[in-house]
Chain A
């Protein structure tokens, strides 16, 4: 098992669809993250779950909804997305409370048509 696993690897969805991205970490970490990576832009932090408390980036639209049922699993629920939401969505985990780096999953390449 790799440290952080994301599914699906690729997703194409219409603007009226509802889909979910899944992330699972096997590293025993206590914090999980969703990042968005668009072309030629820095990685954008969307959501953080730290010790099961959610921290949001206030600029993330409500059509993105995270869920963290436990410290090993993280979901990103998607609905009524826009074409500009097409990007690479990366999940990461870390051990909070120190200088721990992030460990990333392989990402989900999302295309909204």
Chain B
């Protein structure tokens, strides 16, 4: 089982819709969860982090964490073509406290 798993996509949504990106992780003791956005040919940039169960909102982005289900998601409201990128889920592994990435989900927002 992969430590951090994401659907690779591509996920295609129309402009203005809600994009939902999902991630599961295997280390039950993990405490810290991050979402990075990576445009083609660029380095990853941090967009959200979440440490507690529940929802965390920042502008059009909402991160959701369910530790019992070992599941973290990212919702993007009012999706824009500029949101088209690969979204990377990352989890701090308890052993060694190292950040482990999923393979990323490619999102395409169609005008």
Which residues of A are at the interface with B, using a C-beta cutoff of 8 A? 40-43, 45, 48, 55, 90, 94, 96, 99, 101-107
Contacts and interface: CB of A to CB of B under 8 A. Distances in A.
A105 B43 CA distance: 7
Question: Binding site of A, secondary structure by majority: helix, strand, loop or mixed?
Answer: loop
Nearest to B42: A106
A23 to B, nearest CB: 12
B103 A41 contact: yes
Interface residues of B, number: 25
Interface stretch (B12-20, B57-65, B73-81, B92-100): B92-100
Contact of A42 (B4, B45, B49): B4
Nearest to A41: B103
Given A42-B4, A55-B96, A99-B31, A104 B43 contact: yes
Nearest to A109: B41
Contacts of B103: 40-42
Contacts of B51: 99
A102 B92 contact: no
Contact of A107 (B34, B43, B101, B104): B43
Contacts of B45: 104
Given A41-B103, A45-B98, A101-B99, 15 more contacts: A40-B103, A42-B102, A42-B104, A43-B88, A55-B96, A55-B98, A90-B43, A90-B44, A96-B97, A101-B34, A101-B49, A102-B99, A103-B46, A104-B45, A106-B43
B8 interface: yes
B22 interface: no
A104 B49 contact: no
